[in-house]
Amino acid sequence: MKILHVSKLLGNNTNGIDYVVNRLIFHQNKLDGILASSVNTSEDSIFKSIRFLEGFDIVVFHNLYCFKSWILIIFCIINKIPYIIFPHSGLTAASFEKSKKKKLIVMSIFLKKMIMNAAAVHFLNENEKENSYRYYSRCFIVPNGIDVDFKYDIRYRKKYIAYLGRYDINHKGIDLLLNSIKLVQNEFRSYGYKIIMHGYDPSKVSLNFINEFVSNNNLADLIIVCGPIINNYEKINFLSSSSAYVLTSRYEGLPITVLEALSVNTPCLVTKGTNMAELIDEYGFGISCLTNLDDVTNMMVKFLKQKNEFNESRSYIIDNFGWEKISKSLICEYKKSINYDK
């Protein structure tokens, strides 16, 4: 089976879609009878991409709001090449709050028809499916995976809460996180905790907002703002040394960083918007809350008082989210979507 992944890559493996696409291709190519390739709409021309489409059994589109992807979808429709839409939370109602008018116009004119014509839409979990607009005729659910074939030292947990990912004030709910720390700064100082943030922001807009907020509210001793971590060893060390990982997103598909934190037994503090709250609550892997300031603030205080009362999570992540298992599940869903081998 020949699979083509079409995506708009940033060339930064700390970006979620870059990571997922690269790992999917690597692990799918390790399976017998599978040949997975990619088209990067950030670099490849329309003409080169169209020529590349021919001969593939199925095409997976990872970016909904991309002009080149729309052209390639039209080519697939005309030439009866089956395709999958992998929206990465891009169909959720919360994601539509950003550039809402433009997205609704595009949807109403042509994009909804393109999605409806897909062999299937790939959701990452039940929550993403339930919170997405029903612009599809068929769908399946397979989560993201992570690489779990590493060893790490069981080390002393330091008194910091980790944040790792893109600096995006609205999407990642960083405004909620910052304001919650401002409200309970005395408790943080009393318990001896701080937040250490590692992230990237090509536009510098969110990064500047964070730095100004920290400076204006005299929180430099509690909120440490750093650049991205690219080296995998440093990332694992950062997560495994922390007392907890925090993600207060307003919407997500299935955040890789939460899986990575859980893979080193680091408890997670998450909002419902991360789509990880049910898992965290059901297995005692951390604390979840609603996606608003009051609840995030209460979650932070609860963590300070409840530390060291969480279950180990690594074995669960290895059993359920390893890329080998995820890749095999996806191939089965691709084949069912296009009646492959029937």
Question: Over the stretch 210-253, which tens digit does the pLDDT of each residue have?
Answer: 999 999 999 999 999 999 998 888 999 999 999 999 999 999 98
Contact 4, 59 (CB under 8 A): yes
Phi, psi at 111, each rounded to 5°: -70, -35
Q: What percent of the chain has pLDDT over 90?
A: 73
- The per-residue pLDDT for range 84-114, each reduced to its tens digit, is 999 998 999 888 888 888 888 989 889 999 9
pLDDT at position 51 is 84
Cα–Cα nearest to 212, from 223, 203, 201: 223
Our separate counts of H helices and E strands in the chain read 15, 12
> What's the CA gap between 173 and 97, in Å, rounded?
13
* Beta-sheet strand order (sheet of 160-166): 223-226, 194-200, 160-166, 244-247, 268-271, 286-289
Q: Is the pLDDT of residue 342 over 60?
A: no
pLDDT at position 231 is 86
Local structure of 104: helix, strand or coil: helix
- The per-residue pLDDT for range 133-180, each reduced to its tens digit, is 888 889 999 999 998 877 777 668 899 999 999 999 999 999 999 999
Measured N-to-C along each axis, helices 314-321 and 323-338 cross at an angle, to the nearest 10 degrees, of 30
- The per-residue pLDDT for range 281-298, each reduced to its tens digit, is 999 999 999 999 999 999
